[in-house]
């Protein structure tokens, strides 16, 4: 998996961090970021739900191609 957060769209609502706290957190400015070591989603079953929960659609999750 590949997670991308559009920092220009992110409004810091925190829905991703509430939905999948094992993958997302908020930085010092309050914007969403992926936790270190979780750039691949860490196998979280809630990863896609967290992306859908973003009120502005700032998070995209895509399959990685090997």
pLDDT score recorded for residue 29:
95
What pTM did the predictor assign? 0.89
State what percent of residues in the chain have pLDDT above 70: 97
Residue 64 has pLDDT above 90, yes or no: no
State the SS3 of the chain: CEEEECCCCCCCCCHHHHHCCCCEEECCCCCEEECCCCCCCCCCCCHHHHHHHCCCCCEEEECCCC
């Amino acid at each position: 998996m590949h997670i991308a957060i559009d920092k220009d769209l992110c409004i810091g609502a925190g829905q991703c961090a509430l939905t999948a706290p094992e993958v997302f957190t908020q930085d010092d400015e309050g914007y969403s970021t992926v936790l270190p070591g979780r750039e691949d989603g860490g196998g979280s079953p809630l990863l896609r739900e967290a992306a859908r929960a973003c009120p502005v659609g700032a998070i995209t999750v895509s399959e990685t191609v090997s």
